[in-house]
């Protein structure tokens, strides 16, 4: 009798080992590594992934359960992705099963076939082409829909396209089909909406690269087919995107696929549009705004090599791409490349691993590179490419000045000087952008009589006042309640409202400038689908003359009419508990400032601060981001923080305060920390969130190898500690924030 084959399987559970199953002879085919199978796991039937096929098991064969079904004839995760994920599971000390399954889109996790499914395509019939919508006057929705089809540039439309322009289109469309004005066909290709996949036509607005850009592009092109990392440091508006496009075109000409990772696509629809209109190829985009069907087909198109360019957020890094020849990571300093929960990987760092395995180049781009990347340039691990000038011939970097607001009247968060500047720019037909990293009306309510504040019951934080609905909302746990009119403690009648958020600025400015269109862009005003896109268009066209916004406005947008940028509060960043606080503050200032003067008019940036003497602010203004980084990196080195050391945080949360402490004490006692500095257990900077106490144990070492060597053997044991089941715990390798 032939020896039975054993499949070693990863399942999506938080356990640090694999599971062996028998492959019965009754199966049609033997799955290879990277194929999905269905197995019985405990009482559940689960989708698992084959890690390897073995001839022996550590367990008695009669104890092994059989694989129930093989779901793939070819691996869904190719060998290079399996290799990347294996490395990642080891480096981030995360259970391999969870790592693998976080790399798959939902439909594939659930076992759906990795093929494109047919989709309805609607088009006008012959009668539909010539019919007059006015004849449908008793059915206005049908009439509108018919004329929409007649005016559409696309001969065929699919549901996602209709969804983006219509609320309820299914019923009227059905009627039009019944009347034979519109026909329907089921087809597989172009399963994505136009924005998500499209065959763009090279459009005319290609600009001649300037010499800096041409040099940068040529360097990367020369490195095709070899592993090398480039850091493209270009000031805002220097034309980094043009450089990407040039390199991508060259890669496409060589039949290579290109992966482009960006921080958050839904924030930058403009970027996707620029790619689709410039590149004459099939582009798939993978981001959080897609539904499961769209995500599934984008993934399948990329993995079959149909889509030649993939633009996506961090998890798109795990998309199999058979001809991958280049990875570009735009805004590489952005913290959103690091996943902050579950499998806490950094897409930038893993992009390098994928590229090294595949022997292809990586291009990291930013106006404000992370200190890690700058240090890697200094160590000659990355090649530096710089763009020092703005791309458009007549655009100049803005002038930046500090505005000391100590002891100045600050009505609703804006000083009188800034207010008169705003007036001046508006009177000269300029556009004004005000940046404030805090949404809501005010960060808290306070009683001047007894000192009562709007503390959240579940967090160590105050609840933010939202004016439009007079609610208090905790931005950390979501708890919400009506704002009291008088003090709940001492009944004092009027409550004091200190500080300002974007909503307050908006209310105040609307009073000051009643005839000006003012647009507030933050998470509260852009919840509804399509709202952000609408607001960004309004901002770009200049229709909204004053823009007020949070981080959402800081990233990558091109507002050609903005002449004045006001940064309302930078002081938080100067005194943050996080060792990256000043780095992030400088990045934000530079990125926000970069929104000014991108068009023909000169730009001006004003930074309100209570600390105009702060040396780091001065360095930033006088020597720019690079000078700032040089100085701040010296401080970082003296403090022995990353990138001059390697950090891992063991975090935990517990309902009872002492449980977390006991757990981390057990961690500390069991850890062999020779060569590693240990700090803690310490309460997290925000000690309580959503009703749970939060603790951390910080591990710091000069030697990455040593640190990981210790963790490798120790982390799997954590699951068996006495105190483990009383807490939620996690390991954060190379943490991006300390909270
Ligand atoms: P970044 O990505 O560095 O912020 P962009 O690629 O968005 O910069 O370019 C900023 C602006 O400059 C865009 O409007 C772009 O069309 C323009 N631009 C870039 N490069 C050139 C060039 N070589 N010639 C003319 N205009 C350019
Ligand atoms: Zn009171
Ligand atoms: Zn809360």
Q: Is 239 in the pocket of ligand 1 (CB under 6 A)?
A: yes
- CA 513 and chain centroid, separation: 35
pLDDT of residue 269: 67
Rounded CA separation 160/529 (Å):
13
- CA 118 and chain centroid, separation: 30
- Radius of gyration over every alpha carbon of the chain, rounded to an integer in angstroms: 28
Q: Is 242 in the pocket of ligand 1 (CB under 6 A)?
A: yes
Distance (Å) from CA 440 to ligand 3 centroid? 15
Q: Is 213 in the pocket of ligand 1 (CB under 6 A)?
A: yes
- Beta pairing partners, 366: 233
Distance (Å) from CA 478 to ligand 2 centroid? 25
Q: Higher pLDDT residue, 712 or 557?
A: 712
- Beta pairing partners, 683: 695
Where residue 180 falls (left for φ over 0; alpha for ψ -120 to 50; beta otherwise) is: left
Quote the pTM value.
0.87
pLDDT in tens, 174-196: 999 999 999 888 876 543 434 44
Rounded CA separation 350/352 (Å):
5
Question: For residue 453, what is the DSSP state?
Answer: B
Q: Determine the 3-state secondary structure of 638 from DSSP.
A: helix
Q: Please choose from 210, 262, 392, 590 the residue to mutate so as to test ligand 1's pocket, defined by most ligand atoms within 8 A of CB.
A: 392
Which secondary structure element, helix H or strand E, spans residue 251, and what is its range?
helix 240-253
Give all strands of the β-sheet with 480-482 in edge-to-edge order. Answer: 464-466, 471-473, 480-482
pLDDT higher than 80, residue 160: no
Rounded CA separation 327/307 (Å):
15
Look up residue 240 and give its two tokens: 């980094």
Q: What is the mean pLDDT of residues 357-371?
A: 96
Nearest 5°: phi and psi at 731? -110, 125
Rounded CA separation 74/184 (Å):
32
CA angle 85, 89, 91 (to 5 degrees): 110
Q: Is 207 in the pocket of ligand 1 (CB under 6 A)?
A: yes
Q: Is 234 in the pocket of ligand 1 (CB under 6 A)?
A: yes
pLDDT higher than 90, residue 81: yes
CA angle 623, 625, 627 (to 5 degrees): 45
pLDDT in tens, 695-725: 999 999 999 998 998 899 899 889 888 888 8
Atom of ligand 1 nearest to the CA of 330: 2
- Beta pairing partners, 446: 453, 496
Q: Please choose from 208, 237, 239 the residue to mutate so as to test ligand 1's pocket, defined by most ligand atoms within 8 A of CB.
A: 239
DSSP string, 371-439: HHHHHHHHTTSEEEEEE-S-SSTT--PPEEEEEE-TTS-EETTEEHHHHHHHHHHHHTT-EEEEE-S--
Q: What is the mean pLDDT of residues 405-422?
A: 83
Q: Is 392 in the pocket of ligand 1 (CB under 6 A)?
A: yes
Q: Which residues of 587-605 are buried (b: 16+ CB within 10 A; e: fewer)?
A: bbbbbbbbbbbbbebebbb
Rounded CA separation 88/99 (Å):
8
Q: Is 368 in the pocket of ligand 1 (CB under 6 A)?
A: no
pLDDT of residue 398: 82
Q: Is 386 in the pocket of ligand 1 (CB under 6 A)?
A: no
Q: How confident is the model at residue 273 (pLDDT cuts 50, 70, 90)?
A: confident
Please report which residue ranges of 123-235 form alpha helices under DSSP H: 126-130, 140-151, 159-165, 170-178, 211-222
Q: Is 331 in the pocket of ligand 1 (CB under 6 A)?
A: no
- CA 647 and chain centroid, separation: 22
Where residue 166 falls (left for φ over 0; alpha for ψ -120 to 50; beta otherwise) is: beta
pLDDT higher than 70, residue 268: no
Q: Higher pLDDT residue, 268 or 263?
A: 263
Q: How confident is the model at residue 1 (pLDDT cuts 50, 70, 90)?
A: low
Q: Is 232 in the pocket of ligand 1 (CB under 6 A)?
A: no
Q: What is the mean pLDDT of residues 414-431?
A: 91
Q: Quick one: which of 374, 434, 383, 369 has its CA closest to 235?
A: 369
Rounded CA separation 457/402 (Å):
38
CA angle 66, 67, 68 (to 5 degrees): 105
pLDDT higher than 50, residue 679: yes
- The structure tokens 């005003």 sit at 525
Starting from the CA of residue 595, give the closest ligand: 1
Do 420 and 508 meet the contact criterion of CB atoms below 8 Å apart?
Answer: no
Q: How confident is the model at residue 41 (pLDDT cuts 50, 70, 90)?
A: very high
pLDDT higher than 60, residue 286: yes
Which secondary structure element, helix H or strand E, spans residue 13, and what is its range?
none
Q: Quick one: which of 300, 282, 305 has its CA closest to 199?
A: 282
Q: Which of 129-143, 318-332, 516-530 has the highest mean pLDDT?
A: 318-332
Look up residue 215 and give its two tokens: 């040099």
Rounded CA separation 292/197 (Å):
15
pLDDT of residue 2: 64
Rounded CA separation 31/64 (Å):
17
* CA-proximal residue: ligand 1, atom 21 (nearest): 391
Rounded CA separation 423/432 (Å):
9
Q: Quick one: which of 91, 94, 90, 150 has its CA closest to 122?
A: 150
pLDDT of residue 190: 46
The mean-pLDDT minimum among 25-29, 117-121, 173-177, 197-201 falls in: 197-201
The mean-pLDDT minimum among 412-421, 425-434, 594-603, 642-651 falls in: 594-603
* Interaxial angle between packed helices 615-639 and 371-378, expressed in degrees from 0 to 180 and rounded to the nearest 10: 70
Percent of the chain with pLDDT over 90: 55
pLDDT in tens, 331-340: 999 999 999 9
Atom of ligand 1 nearest to the CA of 235: 3
Look up residue 643 and give its two tokens: 């990138």
Look up residue 320 and give its two tokens: 């199999």
CA angle 331, 336, 338 (to 5 degrees): 110
Q: What is the average pLDDT value for the chain, to the nearest integer?
A: 88
């Amino acid at each position: 009798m032939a020896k039975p084959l054993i499949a070693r399987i990863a399942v999506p559970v938080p356990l640090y080992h694999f599971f062996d199953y028998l492959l019965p002879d009754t199966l049609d085919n033997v799955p290879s590594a990277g194929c999905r199978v269905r197995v019985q796991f405990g009482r559940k039937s689960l989708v698992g992934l084959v890690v390897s096929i073995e001839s022996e098991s550590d367990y008695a064969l009669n104890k092994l359960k059989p694989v129930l079904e093989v779901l793939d004839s070819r691996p869904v995760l190719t060998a290079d992705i399996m290799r990347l994920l294996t490395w990642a599971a080891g480096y981030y000390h995360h259970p391999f099963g969870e790592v693998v399954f976080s790399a798959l889109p939902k439909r594939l996790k659930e076992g759906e076939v990795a093929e494109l499914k047919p989709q309805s395509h609607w088009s006008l019939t012959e009668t539909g082409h010539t019919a007059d919508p006015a004849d449908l006057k008793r059915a206005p929705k049908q009439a509108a829909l018919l004329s929409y089809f007649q005016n559409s540039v696309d001969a065929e439309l699919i549901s996602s396209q209709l969804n983006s322009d219509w609320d309820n289109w299914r019923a009227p469309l059905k009627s039009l089909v019944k009347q034979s004005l519109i026909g329907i066909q089921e087809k597989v290709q172009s399963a994505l909406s136009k924005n998500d996949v499209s065959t763009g036509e090279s459009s005319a607005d290609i600009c001649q690269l300037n010499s800096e850009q041409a040099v940068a592009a040529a360097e990367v092109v020369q490195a095709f087919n070899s592993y090398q990392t480039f850091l493209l440091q270009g000031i805002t508006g220097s034309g980094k995107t043009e450089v990407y496009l040039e390199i991508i075109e060259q890669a496409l000409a060589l039949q290579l696929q290109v992966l482009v990772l960006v921080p958050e696509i839904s924030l930058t629809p403009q970027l996707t549009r620029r790619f689709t209109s410039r590149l004459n190829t099939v582009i798939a985009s993978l981001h959080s705004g897609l539904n499961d069907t769209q995500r599934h087909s984008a993934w399948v198109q990329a993995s079959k090599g149909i889509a030649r360019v993939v633009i996506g957020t961090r998890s798109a890094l795990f998309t199999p791409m058979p001809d991958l020849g280049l990875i570009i990571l735009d805004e590489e300093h952005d913290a959103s490349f690091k996943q902050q929960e579950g499998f806490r990987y950094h897409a930038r760092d893993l992009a390098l691993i994928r590229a090294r395995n595949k022997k292809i180049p990586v291009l990291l781009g930013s106006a404000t590179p992370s200190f890690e990347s700058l240090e890697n340039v200094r160590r000659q691990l990355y090649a530096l490419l710089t763009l020092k000038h703005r791309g458009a011939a007549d655009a100049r970097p803005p002038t930046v000045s500090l505005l000391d607001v100590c002891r100045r009247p600050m009505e609703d968060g804006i000083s009188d000087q800034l207010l008169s500047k705003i007036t001046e720019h508006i009177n000269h037909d300029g556009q004004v952008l005000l940046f404030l990293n805090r949404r809501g009306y005010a960060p808290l309510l306070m009683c001047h009589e007894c000192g009562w504040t709007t503390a959240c019951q579940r967090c160590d934080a105050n609840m933010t006042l939202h004016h439009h609905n007079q609610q208090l909302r905790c931005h950390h746990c979501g708890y919400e309640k009506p704002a009291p009119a008088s003090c709940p403690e001492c009944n004092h009648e009027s409550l004091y409202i200190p500080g300002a958020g974007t909503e307050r600025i908006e209310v105040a400015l609307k009073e000051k400038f009643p005839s000006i269109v003012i647009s507030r862009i933050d998470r509260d005003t852009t919840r509804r689908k399509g709202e952000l896109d609408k607001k960004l268009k309004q901002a770009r066209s200049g229709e909204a003359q004053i823009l007020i916004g949070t981080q959402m406005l800081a990233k990558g947008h091109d507002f050609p009419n903005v002449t004045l940028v006001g940064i309302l509060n930078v002081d938080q960043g100067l005194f943050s508990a996080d060792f990256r606080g000043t780095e992030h503050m400088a990045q934000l200032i530079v990125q926000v400032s970069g929104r000014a003067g991108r068009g023909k008019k000169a730009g001006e940036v004003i930074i309100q601060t209570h600390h105009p003497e702060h040396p780091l602010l001065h360095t930033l203004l006088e020597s720019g981001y690079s000078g700032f980084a040089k100085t701040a990196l010296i401080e970082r080195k003296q403090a022995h923080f990353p990138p001059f050391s390697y950090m891992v945080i063991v975090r935990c949360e517990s309902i009872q305060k002492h449980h977390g402490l006991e757990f981390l004490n057990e961690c500390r006692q069991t850890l062999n920390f020779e060569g590693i500095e240990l700090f803690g257990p310490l309460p997290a900077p925000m000690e309580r969130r959503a009703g749970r106490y939060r603790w951390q144990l910080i591990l710091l070492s000069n030697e990455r190898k040593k640190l990981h060597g210790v963790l490798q053997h120790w982390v799997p044991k954590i699951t068996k500690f006495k105190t483990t089941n009383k807490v939620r715990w996690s390991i954060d390798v190379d943490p991006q924030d300390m909270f």
